[in-house]
Amino acid sequence: MTEYFSNIVMILSKYWKVFLVTGVKNTLILALITVFFGALLGVLICLGRMSRFKPLNWFLIAVVEIIRGTPMLLQLYIGYFIVPKILPFNVTDFMAVAVALCINSGCYQSEVFRSGIQAVDRGQTEAARSLGLSARQTMGRIVLPQAIKNILPALGNEFIMIIKDTSLASTFFVGEVMTSYLVVKGTTFLTMECLMITGAIYFVLCFLLSKLLGGFERRLKAHD
Amino acid sequence: MIKTVDLHKSFKVADKKESLHVLKGVTEHIKKGEVVSIIGPSGGGKSTFLRCLNMLEIPDSGHIYFEGVDITDKKIDINQHRQKMGMVFQHFNVFPHLSVMENITLAPVLTKKKTQAEAEEAAKALLERVGLLDKAAEHPGRLSGGQKQRLAIVRALAMEPDVMLFDEPTSALDPEMVGEVLDVIKRLVESGMTSVIVTHEMGFAKEVSDRVLFMDDGIIAESGTPSEVFNTPQNPRTKEFLSKVLY
């Protein structure tokens, strides 16, 4: 036990930069990129699914179901190999994996948006339309402002999920926390100790974020 | 003012093959200044008929003429016409994220009927009329059911409609709050507002209406003055219905 502890201290004093600087930085960058572009993509998919143009509906339903019905690791592999072939400029591994993560997250987030919008009582739409507001005005002034309150907490959860999911990107050595683990384990051969450190980092990141979002949610509720 | 010709409407019922035929040819003429109450058993098509009048429910066939324009015509801008028809719902449907004042001013300002200042001026007068002026800055979450429904009524009135449609305006209220809402509606219809009221408050229908429609099984089974319908009903279904309800 004491040996474990002294090993962890040793690893941290020697390799803390690999974990806390390179690893955490890349994990956070990857997660932020994924959340941001995933949200953009999510809004677009959600709008497309609510449009009256049926072929677009069907196409997007198919895409979302395929993404939800296949493992993320498989999607990362496909992204890793396909994205550099499709995009005309030089694509780093990091970017290729990020694109795959964004598409995955976009599909999940589109469902969050959709359910948040659908959770707004139909009576709200009917009341707004009965006053003579257009569909667009009703969406913008009545439905979306109420949907945001349903959406934000679920989006926070998605953010936490993404932080953990970025660990899958270590398969391609893109430099996030899980890659730090692989690197340090590879030189020290202290597997268990490195895993403990890595786990602690993920836990602290997710726990802090969860508390932060909780506080934000309470402020939203207090506003009611 | 509103004329309907042979309205039909069916709803698809989940996991059933045949659809539910709710309106089976409703032809009716509501004249300017008239107060019409619609009574009848649940599922008889009262609310569906009322909701067709401003196209919240789109009829499968038939025509609705509002002030001479066929609003079932897909080429017309329905929003323009809805602005002249106020509607009050059973569940109030006030906007919870807006203050009482914003609930009222939103539509007149967005539809460019009024400037913000004009709308607020008018809203204050309306709130005064229904005794809610002191609540102008509150959010609806702090209002009682009766206050919410009174807010919903003045929200509709802020658009200065030519006709008001009431869809069971007191059915979701606590009993002690029914009176205050009926009071507001009564004062409104007495001021000459053309109104169509779907209601289970028989006493109220009898008191304020110029005409009462009894709807059952998708048709208007009986129509006449309150005394005709309530005192000397002709249709056996009307008789049966009225014998079952207390008023």
For A17-55, the pLDDT digits (tens) are 989 999 999 999 999 999 999 999 999 999 999 888 999
| Tens-place pLDDT, residues B161-175 | 999 999 999 999 999
Q: How far from B244 is each of B40, B42, B209, CA to CA, in Å? A: 11, 13, 21
A126 touches chain B (CB under 8 A): yes
Non-local CB neighbours of B158 within 8 Å, separated by 6+ positions: B104, B105, B107, B108, B119, B122, B123, B126
pLDDT of residue A223: 58
**How is A35-58 classified by DSSP, letter by letter?**
HHHHHHHHHHHHHHHHSS-HHHHH
Pairwise CB contact (< 8 Å): A131 & B159: yes
| Tens-place pLDDT, residues B148-199 | 999 999 999 999 999 999 999 999 999 999 999 999 999 999 999 999 999 9
Pairwise CB contact (< 8 Å): A131 & B94: no
Substitution target in A131, A134, A137, A224 with the highest count of B β-carbons within 10 Å is A131
Chain B nearest-CA distance from A106, in A, is 28
pLDDT of residue B245: 85
C-beta of residue B155 within 8 angstroms of C-beta of residue A131: yes
pLDDT band at residue A97 using 50, 70 and 90 as cut-offs? very high
| Tens-place pLDDT, residues B209-232 | 999 999 999 999 999 999 999 999
Q: Alpha-carbon distance B80 to B85, whole Å? A: 10
C-beta of residue A193 within 8 angstroms of C-beta of residue A11: yes
Pairwise CB contact (< 8 Å): B155 & A132: no
Per-chain mean pLDDT for chain B: 94
pLDDT of residue B167: 96
pLDDT band at residue B17 using 50, 70 and 90 as cut-offs? confident
Largest CA distance in chain B: 55
Q: Does the ipTM exceed 0.95? A: no
Pairwise CB contact (< 8 Å): B155 & A126: no
Residue A131 has pLDDT above 70, yes or no: yes
Q: Which residues of A touch B84 (CB under 8 A)?
A: 132
pLDDT of residue B188: 95
Q: What is the 3-state secondary structure (H, E, C) of chain B?
A: CEEEEEEEEEECCCCCCCCEEEEEEEEEEECCCCEEEEECCCCCCHHHHHHHHCCCCCCCEEEEEECCEECCCCCCCHHHHHCCEEEECCCCCCCCCCCHHHHHHHHHHHCCCCCHHHHHHHHHHHHHHCCCHHHCCCCHHHCCHHHHHHHHHHHHHCCCCCEEEEECCCCCCCHHHHHHHHHHHHHHHHCCCEEEEECCCHHHHHHHCCEEEEEECCEEEEEECHHHHHHCCCCHHHHHHHHHCCC
Residue B15 has pLDDT above 80, yes or no: no
A129 touches chain B (CB under 8 A): yes
Q: How far from B141 is each of A146, B89, B93, B145, CA to CA, in Å? A: 13, 17, 12, 10
pLDDT of residue A224: 58
Question: For the residues A189-218, what does the mean pLDDT come to?
Answer: 92
**How is A105-174 classified by DSSP, letter by letter?**
HHHHHHHHHHHHHHTS-HHHHHHHHHTT--HHHHIIIIIHHHHHHHHHHHHHHHHHHHHHHGGGGGGGT-
Residue of B nearest to A135 (CA): B79
Domain boundaries along the sequence of chain A: 2-223
C-beta of residue B93 within 8 angstroms of C-beta of residue A124: yes
Neighbours of A29 (CB within 10 A): 16
Largest CA distance in chain A: 74
Q: How far from B43 is each of A146, B206, B218, B219, B238, CA to CA, in Å? A: 31, 21, 8, 11, 15
Q: Which CATH superfamily includes the segment(s) A2-223?
A: MetI-like (1.10.3720.10)
| Tens-place pLDDT, residues B105-144 | 999 999 988 999 999 999 999 999 999 999 999 999 999 9
pLDDT of residue B247: 62
Residue A1 has pLDDT above 80, yes or no: no
Q: Which of B56, B94, B106 minimises the CB distance to A130? A: B56
Tokens of A219: 């402020």
pLDDT band at residue A2 using 50, 70 and 90 as cut-offs? confident
C-beta of residue B142 within 8 angstroms of C-beta of residue B173: no
Question: For the residues B90-100, what does the mean pLDDT come to?
Answer: 96
| Tens-place pLDDT, residues A168-183 | 999 999 989 999 999 9
